[in-house]
Amino acid sequence: MEEIAPDLFRIKIPLPTFKYLNSYIIRGKNRHLIVDTGLDSPECLEVMKTALDRLGIDLKNADFFITHFHGDHAGLLSRLAEKESKVYFNEPESRLIGSCNFFEQLIAYNRKNGFPDNRLQATAKRTSSHSQDYGWKKCLKTVEEGDRIRVEDRCFICMHTPGHSPGHTCLYEPEEKFLVSGDLLFADVTPGIPCLSDHGNPLKDYFESLDRIKKLDVDLVLPGHRRLFRGHRERIEETKSFHFDRFDIIRSILDGGPLNAYQVTSKVVDGVRVDLWSQLSDQQKGLEMTQVIAQLRYMEREGMISSTRKKDRPDYCL
């Protein structure tokens, strides 16, 4: 546990990937705020409850802010939220809570983009073994752009920053110049920007979110993973450059002829390291593909590439 500022703490919640989630606790006299929780697992719960005990925090006096609806950020809520709690959560993703067909839709979309059907079925079986308790939904308080959450003298401003997810929301504290960035921005890796349907342009949304955040006066970024850092404007430019470089790589790949998203993704990954694609699990391949689809979507909308469709299955070309 690390005290970042008076009554502002970071708890490293262990994860099987990304090493850990940064959960932030803002301690107040009467009410406390917990930002993001970790996965619904015994290991995460033990670390969180140990930290809360050390800080003298009773969960009956705690509220929660969830940056976005991914399991490593919201999964533990069902074990922590009390009937007295408020759960601050973005409106776009509140509609997904308890959705029974999300994974089925995702699998169908991956199939449409070239993912081998036999591998999809294996992934579906593994996915269906996971369950989630959404009992905390009754504590939900949806937040929108510009809403304020007060904890003692601190006033956090909610900032809608879609891209990594449709409703991703950051918190900005203008007096101390803290940005609780969730998965918007990391110190030394690039957040994944997935595209999960034919609708929208997630990477365009992400670039616009970065441009908005770049205008803020930020002294310290408190990300959802990895280390805290300063210099958010420089990091934003580095993050955008990653995608611009990827565009050049994709154009070079498509110079050889039309390919579907699965084929493009395999070549992109093997360009990082020879035979890396064959070493990835099906879940990792699916995740990589959703991110490449976001880049292909952006490039097509910007006129950098085009696509043809046969039986509603897209192939991309120059």
The answer to whether the beta carbons of residues 281 and 228 sit under 8 Å apart is no
In 3D, which of 137, 129, 44, 130 has the Cα closest to residue 85? 137
Could you tell me which CATH number the domain at 120-126+247-317 has? 1.10.10
Q: In whole angstroms, what is the distance from residue 255 CA to residue 43 CA?
A: 48
Tell me whether the CATH fold assigned to 2-98+135-230 matches the one assigned to 120-126+247-317: no
Q: Find out whether 207 and 185 touch, Cβ atoms under 8 Å.
A: no
Average pLDDT over residues 141-164: 97
- Asked whether the predicted pLDDT for residue 14 surpasses 50, the reply is yes
Residue of 17, 21, 16 whose CA lies nearest to 37:
21
Domain positions in the chain are 2-98+135-230, 120-126+247-317
Structure tokens that stand for 77 in this block: 């809520």
The reported pLDDT for the residue numbered 199 is 92
User: For residue range 296-305, what is the model confidence (pLDDT) as tens digits?
Assistant: 999 999 999 9
In whole angstroms, what is the distance from residue 307 CA to residue 300 CA?
Answer: 7
Q: With 50 as the cut, is the pLDDT of residue 131 above it?
A: no
CATH number of 2-98+135-230: 3.60.15.10
- Tell me: the pLDDT tens digits for 112-121? 999 988 777 6
% of the chain beyond a pLDDT of 70: 94
- The whole-number pLDDT of residue 124 equals 56
